[in-house]
Structure 1
Amino acid sequence: MRITKEPEERKQEILDTAMRIFYEKGYDKTSIADIAKDIGVAQGLCYRYFPSKEALFDSAIDQYAEELVSRFSVPPDSDKLTLRELIETMPVMVETEDNAYYKTLHVVENKKFHDQLTLKVCEKLSKIVIKLLEQAKEKGEISIDDVQTAAFFCVYGQIGILLDRTYAAEEKERRIRDFLIYVLRL
């Protein structure tokens, strides 16, 4: 029996199933046919949403990056907070190990994909940080001429600490916060 679903629901089902199977079998050993079979649909339906396995994976990376960045959401009343207060209360690590996306992107065999995710998150997060730094500059909290470059350093510069396995999560957060406060002279 054919089950009709709304396009966004079907697209999400394909993405979620793909990530689970990528985790179980590995990206290279997974085909669009495997994904379609698991869902119980024709292979062509998957291709209607994604022209290739690579496009499907890129879409999954982009969506997961967007989800992670949304967890960094700035409070609605952020204009009432100082930049220092925002830094002191911001989450630094937002991923949890409870889903197929995390599992797929954090196994050693998929380091290349994890790196793609990291860069995509930084790209999306940079836009938020640019706005925050511009607001802080307007309020006179910081005096930085090149806000965009400062934002890129604040965001992309954290990667080394976040990937260093010798530090516990709390230590990573402390180091990142302390450095941001220092470098922005807050």
Structure 2
Amino acid sequence: MAQRFAPDERSAEITAAARTLFATRGIAKTSFTDVAREVGVARGLIYHYFPDKDALVTAVLDQHVARFVTSVQEWDGAREPGNINKALVDCISLLRSHLRSMNPMHTELQRVENTGLYNRFLHQAVTAIVDCLQLTTIEAYAKLHRIEISHVRETFYVLIYGLVGLARNNPAVGDDVLIDITRQVLRLPVEVGDPQ
């Protein structure tokens, strides 16, 4: 007799199997039958949780976004208030870490046939990160410093989108360059002892 799972557990198990298969076989070459075989269930059960492949792909990408947002929240909780340079170094490190952790899936999303999916994912990820920063880091910064930019939300959106693109498409660009770009775009003050 098959083991019974709570709906959330089963959905998570299916999503994890799909993530693995998408990264190794590709999104286009992974069928619901493949996912069902990986999980060890009937194909119809996959349809019970995900009406179509697009919903399953969205669930996999939602997990990546949620992990990134959680790490931004953890970073913000551990951040040393007022230490702008350390915050910038840590943020760029966090960005690079997430780009590396998604590497097999990123490779799959880079395929021409997945351009729309990648754009949707990137928009969702950047929007979620900006939402998180707006409620945490930006608000905390505004209590200590004057924000020197207009259109704060939109500026952060463009900045994060641009940093992801630059870091992903040109990995040779150093962290110091990404930090400097961030400092310039956000008009952050240079602290005494900061490398310039």
**TM bracket (short chain):** 0.7 to 0.9
Q: Which residue of 2 aligns with 1:93?
A: 96
Counterpart among 110, 117, 124 of residue 121 in structure 2: 117
The 5 Å alignment of 1:1-186 reads 1-72=1-72, 73-76=74-77, 78=79, 80-90=81-91, 91=93, 92-95=95-98, 102-107=103-108, 108-109=110-111, 112=115, 113-131=117-135, 132-165=137-170, 167=172, 171=174, 173-185=175-187, 186=189
Unaligned runs of 5+ in 2: 190-196
Q: Which has the higher helix share?
A: 2
Give the paired residue count: 181
Unaligned runs of 5+ in 1: none
Structure 1 residue 61 displacement after superposition: 0.4
Looking at structure 2, the residues matched to 144 and 24 of structure 1 have their Cα atoms a distance apart, in angstroms, of 43
- Under a length normalisation based on structure 2, what TM-score does the superposition of the two structures give? 0.77
Structure 1 residue 96 displacement after superposition: 6.8
Distance verdict in 2 for CA 1:37–1:155, change over 3 Å: same
Looking at structure 2, the residues matched to 22 and 147 of structure 1 have their Cα atoms a distance apart, in angstroms, of 36
Instruction: Give CA deviations for 1:94-148 in whole Å, capped at 9, x if unaligned.
Output: 23757xx642332453753444433322121111232322332232243334221
- State which drifts further: 124-133 or 88-97: 88-97
- Identical positions, percent: 22
Distance verdict in 2 for CA 1:97–1:167, change over 3 Å: closer
Looking at structure 1, the residues matched to 5 and 125 of structure 2 have their Cα atoms a distance apart, in angstroms, of 30
Instruction: Give CA deviations for 1:11-31 in whole Å, capped at 9, x if unaligned.
Output: 111111112222343322322
Looking at structure 1, the residues matched to 151 and 107 of structure 2 have their Cα atoms a distance apart, in angstroms, of 34
Contact 1:71 / 1:94 at 8 angstroms: preserved in 2? no
- Under a length normalisation based on structure 1, what TM-score does the superposition of the two structures give? 0.80
Distance verdict in 2 for CA 1:106–1:114, change over 3 Å: farther
Distance verdict in 2 for CA 1:162–1:141, change over 3 Å: same
Contact 1:134 / 1:147 at 8 angstroms: preserved in 2? no
